[in-house]
Chain A
Protein backbone atom coordinates (compact mmCIF):
# COMPACT_ATOMS: atom_id res chain seq x y z
CA UNK A 1 0.00 0.00 0.00
CA UNK A 2 1.37 3.35 -0.91
CA UNK A 3 1.61 6.26 1.44
CA UNK A 4 1.64 9.99 0.91
CA UNK A 5 3.05 12.91 2.81
CA UNK A 6 1.94 16.49 3.24
CA UNK A 7 3.92 19.68 3.35
CA UNK A 8 1.42 22.54 3.22
CA UNK A 9 4.03 25.15 4.06
CA UNK A 10 6.06 24.65 0.91
CA UNK A 11 5.64 27.64 -1.32
CA UNK A 12 6.32 26.18 -4.75
CA UNK A 13 5.19 22.68 -5.46
CA UNK A 14 3.59 20.63 -8.16
CA UNK A 15 0.12 19.28 -7.55
CA UNK A 16 0.49 15.52 -8.02
CA UNK A 17 -1.58 13.48 -10.45
CA UNK A 18 -4.77 12.37 -8.73
CA UNK A 19 -4.54 8.94 -10.37
CA UNK A 20 -1.45 7.92 -8.38
CA UNK A 21 -3.14 8.16 -4.97
CA UNK A 22 -4.56 5.19 -3.07
CA UNK A 23 -8.19 4.57 -4.00
CA UNK A 24 -11.36 3.30 -2.38
CA UNK A 25 -14.52 1.77 -3.89
CA UNK A 26 -17.01 4.27 -5.31
CA UNK A 27 -20.37 3.82 -7.07
CA UNK A 28 -20.92 6.81 -9.35
CA UNK A 29 -24.21 5.60 -10.83
CA UNK A 30 -25.64 4.80 -7.40
CA UNK A 31 -24.74 8.29 -6.16
CA UNK A 32 -26.35 9.80 -9.26
CA UNK A 33 -29.61 7.86 -8.84
CA UNK A 34 -29.89 8.52 -5.10
CA UNK A 35 -29.15 12.25 -5.56
CA UNK A 36 -31.70 12.41 -8.39
CA UNK A 37 -34.45 10.75 -6.35
CA UNK A 38 -33.82 12.93 -3.29
CA UNK A 39 -33.77 16.17 -5.28
CA UNK A 40 -36.84 15.18 -7.29
CA UNK A 41 -38.75 14.47 -4.08
CA UNK A 42 -37.55 17.78 -2.62
CA UNK A 43 -38.69 19.61 -5.76
CA UNK A 44 -42.11 17.94 -5.62
CA UNK A 45 -42.46 18.77 -1.93
CA UNK A 46 -41.55 22.43 -2.41
CA UNK A 47 -43.83 22.74 -5.44
CA UNK A 48 -46.74 21.14 -3.57
CA UNK A 49 -46.07 23.06 -0.37
CA UNK A 50 -45.34 26.54 -1.66
CA UNK A 51 -46.42 26.61 -5.33
CA UNK A 52 -45.33 29.60 -7.38
CA UNK A 53 -46.40 33.18 -7.82
CA UNK A 54 -48.42 34.24 -10.86
CA UNK A 55 -49.64 37.82 -10.77
CA UNK A 56 -51.62 38.69 -13.87
CA UNK A 57 -49.92 40.98 -16.37
CA UNK A 58 -51.07 44.61 -16.30
CA UNK A 59 -52.99 45.45 -19.46
CA UNK A 60 -53.14 48.96 -20.86
CA UNK A 61 -56.85 48.80 -20.08
CA UNK A 62 -56.05 48.04 -16.42
CA UNK A 63 -53.77 51.04 -16.38
CA UNK A 64 -56.30 53.33 -18.06
CA UNK A 65 -59.00 52.38 -15.59
CA UNK A 66 -56.87 52.42 -12.45
CA UNK A 67 -54.80 55.52 -13.19
CA UNK A 68 -56.40 57.48 -16.06
CA UNK A 69 -54.58 60.70 -15.24
CA UNK A 70 -51.22 58.93 -15.40
CA UNK A 71 -52.08 57.50 -18.79
CA UNK A 72 -53.08 60.94 -20.15
CA UNK A 73 -49.89 62.49 -18.75
CA UNK A 74 -47.84 59.72 -20.31
CA UNK A 75 -49.49 60.08 -23.73
CA UNK A 76 -48.88 63.84 -23.56
CA UNK A 77 -45.21 63.28 -22.73
CA UNK A 78 -44.90 60.95 -25.74
CA UNK A 79 -46.30 63.69 -27.98
CA UNK A 80 -44.01 66.30 -26.39
CA UNK A 81 -40.97 64.07 -26.78
CA UNK A 82 -40.28 64.26 -23.05
CA UNK A 83 -41.11 60.68 -22.07
CA UNK A 84 -38.39 58.25 -21.01
CA UNK A 85 -38.58 56.30 -24.26
CA UNK A 86 -38.69 59.46 -26.42
CA UNK A 87 -35.39 60.69 -24.99
CA UNK A 88 -33.86 57.25 -24.48
CA UNK A 89 -31.27 56.99 -27.21
CA UNK A 90 -30.03 53.64 -28.57
CA UNK A 91 -31.37 51.08 -29.29
CA UNK A 92 -34.69 52.94 -29.81
CA UNK A 93 -33.71 56.34 -31.22
CA UNK A 94 -30.95 58.94 -31.43
CA UNK A 95 -32.46 61.43 -29.00
CA UNK A 96 -29.43 61.00 -26.75
CA UNK A 97 -26.19 59.05 -26.62
CA UNK A 98 -27.33 57.05 -23.62
CA UNK A 99 -25.15 55.87 -20.76
CA UNK A 100 -21.39 55.62 -20.76
CA UNK A 101 -18.95 53.44 -18.88
CA UNK A 102 -16.15 55.91 -18.33
CA UNK A 103 -15.07 56.97 -21.81
CA UNK A 104 -16.84 54.02 -23.43
CA UNK A 105 -20.12 54.96 -25.13
CA UNK A 106 -21.27 51.34 -25.21
CA UNK A 107 -24.97 52.18 -25.49
CA UNK A 108 -24.33 54.40 -28.51
CA UNK A 109 -22.07 51.80 -30.08
CA UNK A 110 -24.86 49.23 -29.82
CA UNK A 111 -26.73 51.25 -32.43
CA UNK A 112 -30.41 51.96 -33.08
CA UNK A 113 -31.50 48.41 -33.85
CA UNK A 114 -35.04 48.57 -32.43
CA UNK A 115 -36.32 51.89 -33.81
CA UNK A 116 -39.24 53.38 -31.90
CA UNK A 117 -40.82 56.78 -32.62
CA UNK A 118 -42.59 57.28 -29.31
CA UNK A 119 -45.14 59.88 -30.47
CA UNK A 120 -46.00 58.08 -33.67
CA UNK A 121 -45.72 54.43 -32.62
CA UNK A 122 -47.15 54.63 -29.11
CA UNK A 123 -49.90 57.28 -29.51
CA UNK A 124 -50.61 58.44 -33.07
CA UNK A 125 -50.63 55.01 -34.76
CA UNK A 126 -53.37 53.59 -32.50
CA UNK A 127 -55.37 56.83 -32.74
CA UNK A 128 -55.14 56.79 -36.53
CA UNK A 129 -56.22 53.17 -36.57
CA UNK A 130 -59.38 53.85 -34.62
CA UNK A 131 -60.68 57.42 -35.14
CA UNK A 132 -63.77 57.38 -32.95
CA UNK A 133 -65.34 60.77 -33.67
CA UNK A 134 -65.04 63.87 -35.81
CA UNK A 135 -63.28 65.81 -33.06
CA UNK A 136 -60.44 63.26 -33.10
CA UNK A 137 -60.33 63.18 -36.90
CA UNK A 138 -60.08 66.98 -36.97
CA UNK A 139 -57.50 66.90 -34.16
CA UNK A 140 -55.30 64.44 -36.02
CA UNK A 141 -55.56 66.55 -39.19
CA UNK A 142 -54.53 69.65 -37.27
CA UNK A 143 -51.63 67.77 -35.70
CA UNK A 144 -50.40 66.48 -39.04
CA UNK A 145 -50.58 69.89 -40.63
CA UNK A 146 -48.51 71.51 -37.85
CA UNK A 147 -44.72 71.64 -37.64
CA UNK A 148 -42.64 69.53 -35.27
CA UNK A 149 -41.88 72.62 -33.19
CA UNK A 150 -45.58 73.37 -32.89
CA UNK A 151 -46.19 69.78 -31.75
CA UNK A 152 -43.68 70.20 -28.95
CA UNK A 153 -45.08 73.62 -27.96
CA UNK A 154 -48.64 72.32 -27.70
CA UNK A 155 -47.80 69.06 -25.92
CA UNK A 156 -45.27 70.62 -23.53
CA UNK A 157 -47.75 73.34 -22.56
CA UNK A 158 -50.45 70.76 -21.91
CA UNK A 159 -48.02 68.60 -19.96
CA UNK A 160 -47.12 71.58 -17.74
CA UNK A 161 -50.78 72.41 -17.28
CA UNK A 162 -51.55 68.84 -16.22
CA UNK A 163 -48.68 68.90 -13.77
CA UNK A 164 -50.03 72.14 -12.28
CA UNK A 165 -53.31 70.51 -11.28
CA UNK A 166 -53.52 68.80 -7.87
CA UNK A 167 -53.78 65.26 -9.24
CA UNK A 168 -53.15 65.65 -12.96
CA UNK A 169 -56.85 65.58 -13.74
CA UNK A 170 -57.37 66.77 -17.35
CA UNK A 171 -60.82 68.14 -16.47
CA UNK A 172 -59.27 70.71 -14.14
CA UNK A 173 -56.59 71.98 -16.49
CA UNK A 174 -56.42 75.74 -16.96
CA UNK A 175 -57.33 77.18 -20.35
CA UNK A 176 -54.44 77.53 -22.76
CA UNK A 177 -53.18 76.94 -26.28
CA UNK A 178 -52.73 73.19 -26.36
CA UNK A 179 -53.79 72.66 -29.96
CA UNK A 180 -55.42 69.25 -30.51
CA UNK A 181 -53.48 67.59 -27.69
CA UNK A 182 -56.37 67.44 -25.15
CA UNK A 183 -58.69 65.92 -27.74
CA UNK A 184 -56.09 63.37 -28.82
CA UNK A 185 -55.10 62.32 -25.30
CA UNK A 186 -58.72 62.12 -24.23
CA UNK A 187 -59.47 59.86 -27.20
CA UNK A 188 -56.37 57.84 -26.34
CA UNK A 189 -57.70 57.32 -22.82
CA UNK A 190 -61.09 56.25 -24.17
CA UNK A 191 -59.38 53.82 -26.52
CA UNK A 192 -57.28 52.33 -23.73
CA UNK A 193 -60.23 51.99 -21.36
CA UNK A 194 -62.17 50.15 -24.04
CA UNK A 195 -59.40 47.53 -24.26
CA UNK A 196 -57.33 46.28 -27.15
CA UNK A 197 -54.88 49.19 -27.30
CA UNK A 198 -52.03 46.67 -27.30
CA UNK A 199 -53.26 45.30 -30.60
CA UNK A 200 -53.61 48.78 -32.15
CA UNK A 201 -50.00 49.60 -31.26
CA UNK A 202 -48.73 46.45 -32.98
CA UNK A 203 -51.41 45.26 -35.37
CA UNK A 204 -50.04 41.75 -35.64
CA UNK A 205 -52.38 38.76 -35.32
CA UNK A 206 -49.84 36.63 -33.45
CA UNK A 207 -48.44 39.24 -31.08
CA UNK A 208 -44.98 38.16 -30.00
CA UNK A 209 -42.86 41.28 -29.75
CA UNK A 210 -44.23 43.58 -27.03
CA UNK A 211 -41.45 46.19 -27.05
CA UNK A 212 -43.67 49.17 -27.84
CA UNK A 213 -46.43 48.24 -25.40
CA UNK A 214 -43.93 47.72 -22.58
CA UNK A 215 -42.14 50.97 -23.39
CA UNK A 216 -45.46 52.84 -23.15
CA UNK A 217 -46.28 51.10 -19.86
CA UNK A 218 -42.80 51.86 -18.50
CA UNK A 219 -43.07 55.53 -19.47
CA UNK A 220 -45.96 55.92 -17.03
CA UNK A 221 -45.64 55.75 -13.28
CA UNK A 222 -48.37 53.14 -12.72
CA UNK A 223 -46.15 50.10 -13.41
CA UNK A 224 -43.42 51.34 -11.10
CA UNK A 225 -45.96 52.20 -8.39
CA UNK A 226 -47.25 48.64 -8.54
CA UNK A 227 -43.72 47.24 -8.37
CA UNK A 228 -42.62 49.45 -5.50
CA UNK A 229 -45.70 48.51 -3.49
CA UNK A 230 -44.38 44.93 -3.77
CA UNK A 231 -40.84 45.96 -2.74
CA UNK A 232 -39.50 45.40 -6.24
CA UNK A 233 -37.92 48.82 -6.85
CA UNK A 234 -34.32 49.04 -7.97
CA UNK A 235 -33.31 50.50 -4.60
CA UNK A 236 -35.28 47.78 -2.81
CA UNK A 237 -33.06 44.95 -4.09
CA UNK A 238 -35.88 44.45 -6.57
CA UNK A 239 -33.89 42.69 -9.27
CA UNK A 240 -33.29 39.65 -7.08
CA UNK A 241 -36.56 39.79 -5.17
CA UNK A 242 -39.91 38.34 -5.98
CA UNK A 243 -43.26 39.71 -4.90
CA UNK A 244 -44.56 38.21 -1.69
CA UNK A 245 -42.32 35.73 0.06
CA UNK A 246 -41.23 33.79 -3.01
CA UNK A 247 -37.55 33.47 -3.80
CA UNK A 248 -36.46 35.39 -6.86
CA UNK A 249 -33.20 35.50 -8.76
CA UNK A 250 -31.05 35.54 -5.64
CA UNK A 251 -28.00 34.89 -7.80
CA UNK A 252 -28.37 38.40 -9.26
CA UNK A 253 -27.42 39.84 -5.88
CA UNK A 254 -23.94 40.55 -7.23
CA UNK A 255 -25.55 43.15 -9.55
CA UNK A 256 -28.34 44.34 -7.26
CA UNK A 257 -25.82 45.15 -4.54
CA UNK A 258 -24.30 47.99 -6.55
CA UNK A 259 -27.66 49.70 -7.03
CA UNK A 260 -27.90 50.13 -3.25
CA UNK A 261 -24.84 52.41 -3.27
CA UNK A 262 -26.22 55.93 -3.87
CA UNK A 263 -23.17 57.10 -5.83
CA UNK A 264 -23.74 54.29 -8.33
CA UNK A 265 -27.48 53.67 -8.20
CA UNK A 266 -28.23 57.40 -8.41
CA UNK A 267 -25.77 58.14 -11.19
CA UNK A 268 -26.93 59.03 -14.71
CA UNK A 269 -24.66 56.19 -15.83
CA UNK A 270 -25.75 53.94 -12.97
CA UNK A 271 -26.71 50.90 -15.05
CA UNK A 272 -23.46 50.96 -17.00
CA UNK A 273 -21.47 51.35 -13.77
CA UNK A 274 -23.28 48.38 -12.24
CA UNK A 275 -22.43 46.29 -15.30
CA UNK A 276 -18.83 47.43 -15.13
CA UNK A 277 -18.50 46.59 -11.42
CA UNK A 278 -20.20 43.23 -11.92
CA UNK A 279 -17.98 42.43 -14.91
CA UNK A 280 -14.86 43.02 -12.81
CA UNK A 281 -16.09 40.57 -10.16
CA UNK A 282 -17.13 37.97 -12.73
CA UNK A 283 -13.84 38.23 -14.63
CA UNK A 284 -11.99 38.00 -11.31
CA UNK A 285 -13.69 34.70 -10.53
CA UNK A 286 -13.29 33.43 -14.09
CA UNK A 287 -9.55 34.07 -14.21
CA UNK A 288 -8.94 33.33 -10.53
CA UNK A 289 -6.43 30.52 -11.29
CA UNK A 290 -4.14 33.13 -12.87
CA UNK A 291 -4.43 35.92 -10.30
CA UNK A 292 -1.55 35.92 -7.81
CA UNK A 293 -2.68 36.68 -4.29
CA UNK A 294 -6.34 35.94 -4.88
CA UNK A 295 -5.67 32.37 -5.94
CA UNK A 296 -3.71 31.83 -2.71
CA UNK A 297 -6.67 32.75 -0.47
CA UNK A 298 -7.79 29.11 0.00
CA UNK A 299 -4.33 28.22 1.32
CA UNK A 300 -4.33 31.17 3.74
CA UNK A 301 -7.78 30.46 5.16
CA UNK A 302 -7.66 26.72 5.80
CA UNK A 303 -11.24 25.70 5.12
CA UNK A 304 -9.66 22.91 3.08
CA UNK A 305 -8.50 21.25 6.30
CA UNK A 306 -12.14 20.57 7.13
CA UNK A 307 -12.86 19.16 3.69
CA UNK A 308 -9.83 16.83 3.71
CA UNK A 309 -9.85 16.29 7.47
CA UNK A 310 -9.58 12.49 7.19
CA UNK A 311 -6.69 12.68 4.75
CA UNK A 312 -4.64 15.03 6.91
CA UNK A 313 -5.35 12.99 10.07
CA UNK A 314 -4.31 9.75 8.40
CA UNK A 315 -1.15 11.13 6.86
CA UNK A 316 -0.07 12.93 10.03
CA UNK A 317 -0.34 9.61 11.87
CA UNK A 318 1.72 7.85 9.24
CA UNK A 319 4.44 10.41 9.41
Chain B
Protein backbone atom coordinates (compact mmCIF):
# COMPACT_ATOMS: atom_id res chain seq x y z
CA UNK B 1 0.00 0.00 0.00
CA UNK B 2 1.42 3.39 -0.98
CA UNK B 3 1.64 6.35 1.30
CA UNK B 4 -1.16 8.05 -0.69
CA UNK B 5 -3.50 5.09 -0.38
CA UNK B 6 -2.61 4.77 3.24
CA UNK B 7 -4.01 8.22 3.97
CA UNK B 8 -6.83 8.35 1.42
CA UNK B 9 -10.23 9.00 2.96
CA UNK B 10 -8.83 9.73 6.36
CA UNK B 11 -8.73 13.23 7.82
CA UNK B 12 -5.22 14.71 7.85
CA UNK B 13 -3.49 13.86 11.07
CA UNK B 14 -1.11 16.28 12.67
CA UNK B 15 0.79 16.29 15.88
CA UNK B 16 -1.52 17.88 18.46
CA UNK B 17 1.16 20.23 19.69
CA UNK B 18 1.59 21.62 16.17
CA UNK B 19 -1.97 22.93 15.99
CA UNK B 20 -2.64 23.87 19.57
CA UNK B 21 0.50 25.02 21.29
CA UNK B 22 0.12 26.27 24.80
CA UNK B 23 -1.35 29.74 24.61
CA UNK B 24 0.84 30.77 27.54
CA UNK B 25 4.02 29.96 25.57
CA UNK B 26 5.48 33.46 25.58
CA UNK B 27 8.63 32.39 23.74
CA UNK B 28 6.78 31.60 20.51
CA UNK B 29 6.39 34.58 18.21
CA UNK B 30 3.87 32.58 16.20
CA UNK B 31 1.69 31.97 19.24
CA UNK B 32 1.97 35.63 20.16
CA UNK B 33 0.92 36.69 16.63
CA UNK B 34 -2.00 34.22 16.63
CA UNK B 35 -3.18 35.40 20.03
CA UNK B 36 -3.01 39.00 18.87
CA UNK B 37 -5.08 38.20 15.78
CA UNK B 38 -7.64 36.28 17.87
CA UNK B 39 -7.79 39.14 20.31
CA UNK B 40 -8.28 41.71 17.54
CA UNK B 41 -10.97 39.83 15.63
CA UNK B 42 -12.46 36.78 17.36
CA UNK B 43 -12.67 33.55 15.38
CA UNK B 44 -15.77 33.40 13.23
CA UNK B 45 -15.93 37.16 12.78
CA UNK B 46 -13.64 37.32 9.72
CA UNK B 47 -16.17 35.59 7.49
CA UNK B 48 -19.39 35.57 9.49
CA UNK B 49 -22.38 33.53 8.29
CA UNK B 50 -24.80 35.39 10.55
CA UNK B 51 -25.53 39.08 11.00
CA UNK B 52 -27.47 40.98 13.65
CA UNK B 53 -31.13 40.94 12.61
CA UNK B 54 -31.21 44.75 12.42
CA UNK B 55 -28.85 44.65 9.44
CA UNK B 56 -31.73 44.63 7.00
CA UNK B 57 -31.32 47.48 4.53
CA UNK B 58 -29.96 47.70 1.00
CA UNK B 59 -27.76 50.55 2.10
CA UNK B 60 -25.45 48.06 3.82
CA UNK B 61 -24.52 46.68 0.40
CA UNK B 62 -22.53 49.81 -0.40
CA UNK B 63 -19.75 48.92 2.02
CA UNK B 64 -19.16 45.69 0.15
CA UNK B 65 -19.65 47.51 -3.16
CA UNK B 66 -16.87 49.92 -2.19
CA UNK B 67 -14.53 47.03 -1.48
CA UNK B 68 -15.19 45.11 -4.68
CA UNK B 69 -15.10 48.24 -6.83
CA UNK B 70 -11.69 48.99 -5.33
CA UNK B 71 -10.59 45.56 -6.52
CA UNK B 72 -11.83 46.38 -10.05
CA UNK B 73 -10.04 49.75 -9.94
CA UNK B 74 -6.78 48.07 -8.95
CA UNK B 75 -7.21 45.26 -11.48
CA UNK B 76 -7.88 47.58 -14.42
CA UNK B 77 -5.05 49.84 -13.26
CA UNK B 78 -2.58 46.98 -13.16
CA UNK B 79 -3.47 45.97 -16.73
CA UNK B 80 -3.29 49.61 -17.85
CA UNK B 81 0.17 50.11 -16.37
CA UNK B 82 1.80 46.97 -17.77
CA UNK B 83 2.71 48.57 -21.10
CA UNK B 84 3.66 51.96 -19.72
CA UNK B 85 1.92 55.26 -19.18
CA UNK B 86 1.53 56.15 -22.88
CA UNK B 87 0.33 52.81 -24.24
CA UNK B 88 -3.32 53.70 -24.12
CA UNK B 89 -2.89 56.67 -26.49
CA UNK B 90 -2.00 54.41 -29.42
CA UNK B 91 -3.76 51.11 -28.69
CA UNK B 92 -7.50 50.55 -28.96
CA UNK B 93 -7.19 47.80 -26.35
CA UNK B 94 -5.26 50.18 -24.12
CA UNK B 95 -7.89 52.87 -24.60
CA UNK B 96 -10.64 50.43 -23.59
CA UNK B 97 -8.70 49.41 -20.49
CA UNK B 98 -8.27 53.09 -19.67
CA UNK B 99 -12.03 53.54 -20.08
CA UNK B 100 -12.61 50.64 -17.69
CA UNK B 101 -10.20 52.20 -15.20
CA UNK B 102 -11.94 55.59 -15.46
CA UNK B 103 -15.45 54.21 -14.99
CA UNK B 104 -14.42 51.84 -12.22
CA UNK B 105 -12.98 54.85 -10.38
CA UNK B 106 -16.19 56.81 -10.89
CA UNK B 107 -18.21 53.86 -9.57
CA UNK B 108 -15.81 53.42 -6.65
CA UNK B 109 -16.21 57.03 -5.53
CA UNK B 110 -19.99 56.93 -6.07
CA UNK B 111 -20.55 53.83 -3.92
CA UNK B 112 -18.04 55.05 -1.34
CA UNK B 113 -19.91 58.36 -1.07
CA UNK B 114 -23.19 56.51 -0.49
CA UNK B 115 -21.48 54.26 2.07
CA UNK B 116 -20.04 57.28 3.87
CA UNK B 117 -23.30 59.19 4.03
CA UNK B 118 -25.19 56.09 5.14
CA UNK B 119 -22.71 55.65 7.98
CA UNK B 120 -23.06 59.33 8.85
CA UNK B 121 -26.84 59.07 9.20
CA UNK B 122 -26.37 55.89 11.26
CA UNK B 123 -23.93 57.79 13.53
CA UNK B 124 -21.79 54.73 12.96
CA UNK B 125 -19.00 55.99 15.23
CA UNK B 126 -21.03 55.06 18.33
CA UNK B 127 -20.05 52.25 20.66
CA UNK B 128 -16.27 52.63 20.44
CA UNK B 129 -16.23 52.86 16.63
CA UNK B 130 -14.53 56.28 16.34
CA UNK B 131 -11.43 54.75 14.79
CA UNK B 132 -13.55 52.81 12.31
CA UNK B 133 -15.08 56.10 11.16
CA UNK B 134 -11.69 57.83 11.06
CA UNK B 135 -9.96 55.09 9.08
CA UNK B 136 -12.84 55.26 6.60
CA UNK B 137 -12.33 59.01 6.22
CA UNK B 138 -8.57 58.58 5.84
CA UNK B 139 -9.17 55.91 3.20
CA UNK B 140 -11.38 58.39 1.35
CA UNK B 141 -8.66 61.07 1.49
CA UNK B 142 -6.01 58.61 0.31
CA UNK B 143 -8.34 57.56 -2.51
CA UNK B 144 -8.83 61.20 -3.54
CA UNK B 145 -5.03 61.60 -3.66
CA UNK B 146 -4.73 58.43 -5.70
CA UNK B 147 -7.38 59.60 -8.16
CA UNK B 148 -5.72 63.01 -8.43
CA UNK B 149 -2.29 61.54 -9.24
CA UNK B 150 -4.01 59.31 -11.79
CA UNK B 151 -5.40 62.34 -13.59
CA UNK B 152 -1.90 63.87 -13.52
CA UNK B 153 -0.42 60.69 -15.02
CA UNK B 154 -2.55 60.62 -18.16
CA UNK B 155 0.18 62.24 -20.34
CA UNK B 156 -2.39 64.24 -22.33
CA UNK B 157 -3.90 67.73 -22.38
CA UNK B 158 -5.99 66.98 -19.32
CA UNK B 159 -2.90 66.12 -17.29
CA UNK B 160 -1.12 69.27 -18.52
CA UNK B 161 -3.95 71.55 -17.45
CA UNK B 162 -4.66 69.81 -14.15
CA UNK B 163 -0.95 69.91 -13.32
CA UNK B 164 -0.69 73.59 -14.23
CA UNK B 165 -3.65 74.39 -11.98
CA UNK B 166 -2.88 72.02 -9.14
CA UNK B 167 0.69 73.19 -8.71
CA UNK B 168 -0.55 76.57 -7.48
CA UNK B 169 -2.75 74.99 -4.82
CA UNK B 170 -0.06 72.58 -3.68
CA UNK B 171 2.66 75.23 -3.72
CA UNK B 172 0.51 77.71 -1.78
CA UNK B 173 0.64 75.54 1.33
CA UNK B 174 4.19 74.28 0.87
CA UNK B 175 3.25 70.81 -0.37
CA UNK B 176 4.52 71.51 -3.87
CA UNK B 177 8.07 71.54 -2.58
CA UNK B 178 7.67 67.83 -1.75
CA UNK B 179 5.11 66.72 -4.31
CA UNK B 180 5.71 68.12 -7.78
CA UNK B 181 2.50 67.97 -9.83
CA UNK B 182 4.51 68.83 -12.96
CA UNK B 183 6.69 65.72 -12.78
CA UNK B 184 4.66 62.90 -14.39
CA UNK B 185 7.28 60.30 -13.51
CA UNK B 186 6.90 61.08 -9.81
CA UNK B 187 3.11 61.32 -9.96
CA UNK B 188 2.90 57.97 -11.75
CA UNK B 189 4.98 56.27 -9.05
CA UNK B 190 2.73 57.74 -6.39
CA UNK B 191 -0.34 56.70 -8.34
CA UNK B 192 0.53 53.10 -9.04
CA UNK B 193 2.65 52.18 -6.01
CA UNK B 194 2.72 54.45 -2.97
CA UNK B 195 -0.88 55.63 -2.71
CA UNK B 196 -2.54 52.31 -3.66
CA UNK B 197 -0.49 50.64 -0.92
CA UNK B 198 -1.64 53.32 1.49
CA UNK B 199 -5.29 52.95 0.44
CA UNK B 200 -5.02 49.16 0.69
CA UNK B 201 -3.45 49.28 4.15
CA UNK B 202 -6.01 51.74 5.49
CA UNK B 203 -8.92 49.80 4.01
CA UNK B 204 -7.61 46.61 5.64
CA UNK B 205 -7.44 48.43 9.00
CA UNK B 206 -10.97 49.71 8.41
CA UNK B 207 -12.31 46.24 7.63
CA UNK B 208 -10.53 44.76 10.68
CA UNK B 209 -12.25 47.32 12.90
CA UNK B 210 -15.62 46.67 11.30
CA UNK B 211 -15.22 42.93 11.91
CA UNK B 212 -13.95 43.49 15.45
CA UNK B 213 -16.78 45.73 16.62
CA UNK B 214 -19.56 44.42 14.42
CA UNK B 215 -22.21 46.52 12.71
CA UNK B 216 -23.35 49.46 14.81
CA UNK B 217 -26.76 48.86 16.48
CA UNK B 218 -29.70 51.15 15.68
CA UNK B 219 -29.81 54.51 17.39
CA UNK B 220 -31.65 54.18 20.68
CA UNK B 221 -31.41 50.38 20.78
CA UNK B 222 -30.75 48.84 24.16
CA UNK B 223 -29.19 45.54 25.01
CA UNK B 224 -31.67 42.73 24.31
CA UNK B 225 -33.22 41.07 27.32
CA UNK B 226 -33.78 37.33 27.35
Using a CB-CB cutoff of 8 Å, which residues 227-258 of chain A contact chain B? 227, 232, 234, 238-239, 242-243, 246-252, 255
**A46 interfacial contact with B, CB 8 Å:** yes
Contact B59 A307 (CB under 8 A): yes
Q: In the bound complex, do residue B222 and residue A31 qualify as a contact, i.e. CB atoms below 8 Å apart?
A: no
Which of B9-17, B32-40, B44-52 binds A? B44-52
Q: Are A3 and B225 in contact (CB under 8 A)?
A: yes
Q: Does A106 contact B (CB under 8 A)?
A: yes
Closest to A218 in B: B164
Within the complex, the shortest CB–CB distance from B112 to chain A, in Å, comes to 9
- Contact of A16 with B50 at beta-carbon distance under 8 Å, contacts A209-B183, A209-B186, A210-B183 already known: no
Query: What's the Cα separation between A285 and B135 when bound, in Å?
Result: 11
Contact with A along B83-103 (1 / 0, CB 8 A): 000001100000110111011
The reply to whether A210 and B184 contact each other, CB–CB distance below 8 Å, is yes
Q: Mark B159-188, 1 if CB is under 8 A from A, else 0.
A: 111111111110111111110101111100
C-alpha gap A16/B163 in the complex (Å): 49
Q: Scoring A residues 90 to 110 as 1 if CB is less than 8 Å from chain B, else 0, what string do you get? A: 110000001101000011111
User: Does B126 lie within 8 Å of A15, measured CB to CB?
Assistant: yes
Q: Could you give 16 example pairs across A and B, Cβ below 8 Å? A: A14-B127, A15-B216, A21-B224, A35-B68, A39-B68, A54-B95, A57-B157, A88-B171, A98-B172, A99-B173, A110-B177, A214-B163, A238-B161, A272-B172, A301-B121, A312-B218
Q: Is A286 close to B, CB under 8 A? A: yes
B79 at interface by CB-CB < 8 Å? no
A43-B104, A304-B121, A310-B56 are known contacts. Are A90 and B214 too (CB-CB below 8 A)? no
Given contacts A209-B184, A307-B59, 17 further A-B contacts (CB under 8 A): A13-B220, A18-B214, A24-B52, A26-B50, A36-B71, A39-B68, A53-B158, A57-B156, A107-B174, A226-B161, A246-B102, A252-B144, A271-B168, A271-B173, A272-B173, A286-B134, A310-B54
Question: Are B148 and A91 neighbours in the complex by a CB distance under 8 Å?
Answer: no
Selected contact of B107 from candidates A26, A43, A252, CB within 8 Å: A43
In the complex, whether A148 has a CB less than 8 A from a CB of chain B is no
- A154–B149 Cα distance when bound, in Å, is 41
Check if A208 sits within 8 Å of B172, measured CB to CB.
Answer: no
Known contacts A2-B224, A39-B107, A252-B144; A56 and B56 CB within 8 A of each other: no
Q: Which chain A residue has the least Cβ–Cβ distance from B130?
A: A289
A286-310 vs B, CB cutoff 8 Å, 1 = contact: the mask equals 1111100001001101011001111
Q: Which residues of A line the B interface, CB within 8 A?
A: 2-10, 13-29, 31-32, 35-36, 39-40, 42-44, 46-48, 50-58, 88, 90-91, 98-99, 101, 106-114, 207-211, 214-215, 217-218, 223, 226-227, 232, 234, 238-239, 242-243, 246-252, 255, 269, 271-272, 274-276, 282, 285-290, 295, 298-299, 301, 303-304, 307-312, 315
Cα A195 to Cα B151 in complex, Å, equals: 26
Are B96 and A24 in contact, with the CB atoms below 8 A? no
Q: How far is the CA of A23 from the CA of B215 in the complex (A)?
A: 12
Total interface residues in chain B, CB < 8 Å: 100
Q: Which residues of B contact A48 (CB under 8 A)?
A: 96, 99
- Given A21-B53, A110-B174, A113-B177, does the pair A47, B96 have CB atoms closer than 8 Å? yes
Q: Contact at A18–B215, with CB atoms within 8 Å?
A: yes
Closest chain-A Cβ to B58's Cβ sits at a distance in Å of 10
C-alpha gap A249/B149 in the complex (Å): 11
Q: Encode B114-155 as 1/0 by CB contact (under 8 A) with A.
A: 000010111101111110011001100100100110010011
CB of A275 within 8 A of CB of B47, answer: no
A112 to B183, alpha carbons, bound, how many Å? 16
**B123 CB to nearest chain A CB (Å):** 4
Contact B225 A5 (CB under 8 A): yes
Task: Please indicate which of the listed interface residues A88, A99, A248, A249 has the most CB atoms of chain B within 10 Å of its own CB.
Answer: A249
- In the complex, which residue of chain B has the Cβ closest to the Cβ of A209? B183
If the complex has contacts A40-B72, A312-B218, are A217 and B164 also in contact, measured as CB distance less than 8 A? yes
> Provided the pairs A28-B49, A39-B72, A289-B134 are in contact, do residues A252 and B148 lie with their beta carbons within 8 angstroms?
yes
